[in-house]
Amino acid sequence: MRGHRVRVAVAALLLPAVTTCATGPSLEHRGEITGPPGDSRHLTIGSAGFTESDLLAQMYALLLNHAGYHTRILSVTNREIYEPALESGQIDAVPEYAATFADWLNARTHGAGAEPVGSPDLAATMRALRALAAPRGLTVLDPGRAVDQNAFAVAASFAAKHRLRTLSDLGASGLPVRLAAGDECVERPYCEPGLRKTYGIDITGIDPKGVGTTPAKKAVQDGQDQMVLTTTTDATLGQFGLVLLEDDKHLQNADYVVPVVNRSRAGAAGVTGALSELNTVLTTKDLASMNEQVDSWRRLPQDVATAYLRSKGLIPPH
């Protein structure tokens, strides 16, 4: 059986139930949810509505279908809506990113001004994330090798000319760098301040063209800027003749892909075991390749996800 997608007026569907449903833990509860993990045979997989999240949700659904579950996929673009729905059991599993989700839950628990708990240290980030998730009835599964975090790219010709492989190489070169990024780059610790402090890179200015946008990448391709802020799973860098520089001193947070499930409905070994199979094969490079197939080749996420899992022997060939 194949998972199927449900596109709805999400706010209208979810919000009333989230505020009234009694199956999820109270947001005021701070003790760990106890009781046996649930094993509902009909599961709803959440997607955040962008290509990569769609692909991950499709793979989750396919793996669970193969394990004998019935699934549907619900596209919910707003974390403020889908996370409470995950707590209440309206959504049973969702792909998340460790550091980002840890910081989001931390702000929700302790207020917007709370000190971030996500960091480049994956083990510390996971400990913080699980401590925040457990009182909300959520189980965070182990991360695999796939990570979607901020990254910096330069023109391949620029890298070759100056023998640049890492961000440390760029800092050591002393080259002036105009950076295409979002407006917030001037104050975010992972962006301009971090590049200066951690790597000694001479940032001469920020070109506010956005994170990984086509205009930002074109500006680097044309030589107007020397570097662009993008992500590790950006599938279009090759089209612009760009290459990533390695974050060799680990400036960026540990945004590894992690499945998050509602413990009372989907915390049993049948579910967690099926989802954990993806960890044995999925890499950052694999995610970038699949993103490219959807975004550039216009293939359907379900078809790309199916072909990938079949190629890795995780679901039958037919």
Cβ–Cβ < 8 Å for 265, 92:
yes
Reported confidence tier of residue 66, pLDDT bands at 50, 70, 90? very high
Q: Answer yes or no: do 13 and 57 share one domain.
A: yes
Tens digit of pLDDT for each residue in 75-109?
A: 998 899 999 999 999 999 999 999 999 999 999 99
Last residue of a domain, one of 245, 280, 298: 245
Tens digit of pLDDT for each residue in 271-280?
A: 999 999 998 8
240: three-class secondary structure by DSSP: helix
Q: Answer yes or no: do 160 and 127 share one domain.
A: no
Residue 60 sits in a domain of what CATH number? 3.40.190.10
Mean pLDDT of the chain: 90
The dihedral of CA 163, 168, 173, 175: what is its sign?
A: positive
What pTM was estimated for this model as a whole?
0.85
* Other Cβ atoms closer than 10 A to 39: 16
Round to whole Å and give the CA distance between 102 and 126: 8
Map tokens 């199927």 to a residue: 4
Residue 180 sits in a domain of what CATH number? 3.40.190.120
Last residue of a domain, one of 205, 228, 245: 245
Cβ–Cβ < 8 Å for 96, 72:
no
Reported confidence tier of residue 296, pLDDT bands at 50, 70, 90? confident
pLDDT over threshold 90, residue 177:
yes
Cβ–Cβ < 8 Å for 32, 135:
yes
Q: Answer yes or no: do 142 and 155 share one domain.
A: no
Give the domain extent around 276.
Answer: 4-147+254-311
pLDDT over threshold 70, residue 23:
no
Map tokens 């996370």 to a residue: 83
What pLDDT was estimated at residue 36?
84
Q: Answer yes or no: do 278 and 297 share one domain.
A: yes
Q: Is residue 316 part of a domain?
A: no
Q: Is residue 57 part of a domain?
A: yes
pLDDT over threshold 80, residue 18:
no
Last residue of a domain, one of 245, 263, 283: 245
Q: Answer yes or no: do 211 and 88 share one domain.
A: no
Q: Answer yes or no: do 94 and 223 share one domain.
A: no
Reported confidence tier of residue 24, pLDDT bands at 50, 70, 90? very low
User: What mean pLDDT do residues 306-317 have?
Assistant: 97
Q: Is residue 53 part of a domain?
A: yes
pLDDT over threshold 90, residue 31:
no
